[in-house]
């Protein structure tokens, strides 16, 4: 099973997002997502998140929170995504990233962007300051077919 990290870096009312437009064979192609990627051998969720944030953005995080774990099931494949938020950082934002285009956008615009349908659920949980949560999102192709929050079905 694949383990990944994802971090939403906030700056006041804005969030740093990546528009995934650079790789042809990208499961997230054309979507807007937070900053993250796959675990390397021996990494903890925090190790992975901090490394990925620095590699993709050039920023080093000074404060972050581990907010939840998302279990993605996409056509039989399972991924555990460790979800973080951060609001203090230092460094110079990279001009170019191999994964996509980086952009600061207003937090409230996230649901209006091309994102995964299930992302709207965990973004709402982040916005509502829900304590650590476990969310399972099941997809068939690009369609969300089931969502389970802390063991209870919330969709369908």
Which long-range contacts (C-beta less than 8 Å, at least 24 apart) are formed by 135-142? 135/68, 135/69, 135/70, 135/71, 136/70, 136/71, 136/73, 137/70, 137/71, 137/72, 137/73, 138/73, 138/74, 139/72, 139/73, 139/74, 139/75, 140/75, 141/75, 142/116, 142/117
Number of folded domains that form the chain: 1
Tokens of 51: 């490394």
CATH of the domain at 146: 3.90.79.10
Chain-centroid distance, C-alpha 58: 17
Contact 53, 35 (CB under 8 A): yes
Contact 49, 112 (CB under 8 A): no
Q: What is the pLDDT of residue 26?
A: 67
Per-residue pLDDT of the chain (156 residues; tens, 9 = 90+): 899 999 999 999 999 999 988 767 767 778 999 999 999 999 999 999 999 999 999 999 999 999 999 999 998 899 999 999 999 999 999 988 888 999 999 999 999 999 999 999 999 999 999 999 999 999 998 899 999 999 999 998
pTM for this entry = 0.95
Distance CA 138, CA 117 (A): 11
Domain residues for the domain of 67 are 2-155
**DSSP letter string over 125-136?**
HHHTT--SEEEE
Q: At 63, is the secondary structure helix, strand, or coil?
A: strand
Q: What is the pLDDT of residue 97?
A: 87
Task: Give the DSSP H/E element, type plus range, for residue 121.
Answer: helix 119-127
Q: What is the pLDDT of residue 67?
A: 98
Q: How many secondary structure helices (H) and strands (E) does the chain include?
A: 2, 10
């Amino acid at each position: 099973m694949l383990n990944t990290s994802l971090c939403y870096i906030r700056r006041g009312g804005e969030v740093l997002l990546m528009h995934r437009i650079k790789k042809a064979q990208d499961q997230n192609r054309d979507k807007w997502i937070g900053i993250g990627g796959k675990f390397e051998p021996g990494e903890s969720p925090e190790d992975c998140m901090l490394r990925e944030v620095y590699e993709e953005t050039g920023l080093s995080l000074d404060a972050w929170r581990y907010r939840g774990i998302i279990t993605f099931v996409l056509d039989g494949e399972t991924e555990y995504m460790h979800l973080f938020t951060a609001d203090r950082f230092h460094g110079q934002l990279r001009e170019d990233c191999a994964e996509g285009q980086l952009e600061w956008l207003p937090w409230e615009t996230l649901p209006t962007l091309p994102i995964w349908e299930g992302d709207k659920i965990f973004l709402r949980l982040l916005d509502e300051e829900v304590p650590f949560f476990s969310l399972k999102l099941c997809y068939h192709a690009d369609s969300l077919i089931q969502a389970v929050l802390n063991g209870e079905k919330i969709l369908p």
